[in-house]
Amino acid sequence: NAGVTQTPKFRVLKTGQSMTLLCAQDMNHEYMYWYRQDPGMGLRLIHYSVGEGTTAKGEVPDGYNVSRLKKQNFLLGLESAAPSQTSVYFCASENPQGAGSPLHFGNGTRLTVT
């Protein structure tokens, strides 16, 4: 029972390089989210999706793009990485069942931009 799987686990980029983070969930959840976690700031929502083919901006969307071509996958792209994007990135999924539906998180991707 894999749950939410994120790849890669670690990545180092140079400023200006691009990359894509992959999130896959096997729970048939409708909603998916991308967060970044920075020390002393908790988690902040980057983008989210409420269904296949739909995406929306979260709290800190600048510098990121996302795609949800298949229900089970949610991709996060960095077109031109900047040192400010050094962070730990978490993907989460949700089976929306009313107020307070729990989020199911992956184990994170640690990204360093030099």
Partner 1 sequence: AQSVTQLGSHVSVSEGALVLLRCNYSSSVPPYLFWYVQYPNQGLQLLLKYTSAATLVKGINGFEAEFKKSETSFHLTKPSAHMSDAAEYFCAVSLYNNNDMRFGAGTRLTVKP
Query: Which chain residues interact with partner 1 by CB under 8 A?
Result: 4, 31, 33, 40-45, 48, 50, 56, 58-59, 90, 92, 94, 96, 99-103, 105-108
Instruction: Name which of 101 and 114 has its Cβ closer to partner 1.
Output: 101
List of E strands, 1-114? 4-7, 10-13, 19-25, 31-38, 42-51, 54-57, 65-67, 73-78, 87-94, 104-105, 109-113
Cβ nearer to partner 1, comparing 69 with 99: 99
Alpha carbons 66 and 42: distance in angstroms, whole number: 21
- What is the pairing mode between strands 109-113 and 10-13? parallel
Nearer to partner 1, 17 or 104 (CB): 104
Considering the complex, what minimum distance in angstroms separates the CB of residue 65 from partner 1?
Answer: 18
Least Å from the CB of residue 16 to partner 1: 29
To the nearest whole angstrom, how small is the minimum distance from the Cβ of residue 95 to partner 1?
11
- Decide: 6 and 59 in contact? Cβ < 8 Å: no
